[in-house]
């Protein structure tokens, strides 16, 4: 583990590079399909950005903001993972921020995944449209990207504790 954490690729460590890649994946995920609504003959796909820009979702609850919030956490993780290149002394403080942003990004993505968009009852039958039924690649990439940011923060904390011990 020490070999991987201390190995450099150009001016960055492998751990920083993984966090940067995770941040980029989380940002790109916003522009990919997060939900596909399939009803009889209609199939409509929505990116993470569509939930706040498309009028179809204007009356939706707070869940519609989760893809953008997850992207913001990934973007902040990306920025924080680049900062130690400018000031190497920031690795310890940036690790804590990577953990916070990674956790929040994963939570926002999972919260969106659990969203029941519409539910109605016809006598004897309840019909519900849930994001989990039509989850797109954007959700999964957001979770992966933010999880990479989180993982790199945890490795940085673990390595700094090992160095000081």
In tens, the pLDDT along 74-101 reads 999 999 998 888 887 776 778 889 999 9
| Domain-wise residue ranges, the chain | 2-164
- Residue 39 burial (C-beta neighbours within 10 Å; 0-12, 13-18, 19+): exposed
pLDDT at 103 over 70: yes
Distances (CA, A) of 45 to 11, 104, 138: 40, 25, 11
What are the structure tokens assigned to 120, written together?
């109605």
- The predicted structure's pLDDT at residue 157: 82
When pLDDT is averaged across residues 35-54 and rounded to a whole number, the result is 85
Percent of the chain with pLDDT over 90: 41
What are the structure tokens assigned to 42, written together?
């209609």
Contact 33, 46 (CB under 8 A): yes
- Alpha-carbon distance of 3 to 64, in angstroms, equals 42
Which residue carries 């953008």 as its tokens?
A: 68
pLDDT at 162 over 90: no
DSSP 57-102: GTT--GGGGHHHHHHHHHHHHHHHHHHHHH-GGGHHHHHHHHHHHH
Question: Which pLDDT band, with edges at 50, 70 and 90, does 137 fall under?
Answer: very high
**Distance from chain centroid for Cα 80:** 15
- Alpha-carbon distance of 20 to 85, in angstroms, equals 12
Which residue carries 């989850």 as its tokens?
A: 135
pLDDT at 118 over 70: yes
- The predicted structure's pLDDT at residue 165: 47
- The CATH classification number of 2-164 equals 1.20.140
Contact 52, 65 (CB under 8 A): yes
């Amino acid at each position: 583990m020490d070999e991987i954490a201390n190995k450099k690729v150009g001016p960055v460590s492998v751990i920083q590079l993984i966090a940067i890649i995770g941040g980029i994946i989380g940002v790109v995920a916003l522009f990919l399909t997060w939900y596909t609504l399939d009803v009889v003959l209609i199939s409509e796909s929505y990116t993470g950005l569509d939930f706040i820009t498309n009028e179809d979702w204007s009356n939706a609850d707070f869940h519609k903001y989760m893809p953008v919030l997850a992207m913001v956490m990934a973007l902040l993780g990306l920025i924080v993972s680049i900062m130690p290149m400018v000031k190497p002394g920031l690795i310890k403080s940036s690790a804590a921020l990577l953990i916070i942003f990674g956790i929040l990004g994963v939570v926002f993505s999972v919260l969106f995944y659990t969203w029941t968009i519409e539910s109605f009852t016809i006598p004897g039958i309840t019909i519900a449209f849930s994001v989990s039924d039509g989850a797109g690649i954007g959700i999964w990439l957001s979770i992966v990207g933010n999880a990479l940011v989180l993982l790199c923060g945890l490795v940085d904390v673990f390595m700094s504790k090992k160095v000081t011990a």
